[in-house]
Amino acid sequence: MSLIHTLKVGRLARKLEEILKVPQHAFGYPLLNPAGLTPRVREGLIHLCPSGAFAEAEGVFSLDLARCVGCGRCALAYPEAVGEMRSLEVAVTRKEDLVQRVDLERGGFLDPGPPPSPRTELRLPTLAFREVSAGDTGLADSEIALLGNPFNDMGRFGFQVVASPRHADALLVTGPVSRNMAEALRRTYEAMPEPKGVVAVGNEAISGGVFAGSPQVLSGVDQVVPVDVYVPGDPPRPGAILHGLMLLVGRMTQRLVGGVLR
């Protein structure tokens, strides 16, 4: 059987449940273990993390997944305090759900309450999106491109890329939004017909990532245009981005609440 025929019948495409799992060779998303957060461990995690994802204030120890670069050093150094989440169903509709907060006195996670539901007007059977690279390193753009390969095959789920924002239902935006790209992003958003959605793809798009605090960036897409879905990762894998699209159109539910899979 020829390769072309194999591609046509979709034999290379993976099942959705496989796409949404972290590959065995890769580190997943870190998960705090409240019982292991001794004073020594907390101090060690804060000093160890290269991206400043850990913090402690007013009796609450936190881990911000939108700042995590996925190096896995925390889990290797302090396995009693940091585990792994092996699912890529990590897209959320509010940024607060990307932060794990542990009440040190109570020894448990703080619950931020139920997340807002995706907008009903975006529950479309098919969705055309336009990608905008607003100043990122190119890594998240490469992962978005992989959505169209034979393994992920986003077309079977009704998603397609379009060349013009005037034909798009949604924007997928990468990068911390450089000051030079802010006006271009705003104009692209304004050119889209209603209803329109925005997905911030990757930690740079959510919070600025490693560029946060730089005077040359605005540190997040939502500083320029409204964001409906946030997909964490540095960069996020194609499965996480696909989950974000599914969440946007209401075909999957949000599982990450308060930074913890529910």
Domain ranges of the chain: 29-109, 120-261
Asked: is 29-109 a CATH 3.30.70 domain? The reply is yes
Q: How do beta strands 127-133 and 108-109 pair? A: unpaired
Residue written as tokens 């079977």?
Answer: 156
> What are the pLDDT digits (tens) for 114-133?
999 889 999 999 999 999 99
Q: What is the CATH number of domain 120-261?
A: 3.40.50.12280
> What are the pLDDT digits (tens) for 183-222?
999 999 999 999 999 999 999 999 998 888 889 998 899 9
> What are the pLDDT digits (tens) for 26-53?
999 999 999 999 999 999 999 999 999 9
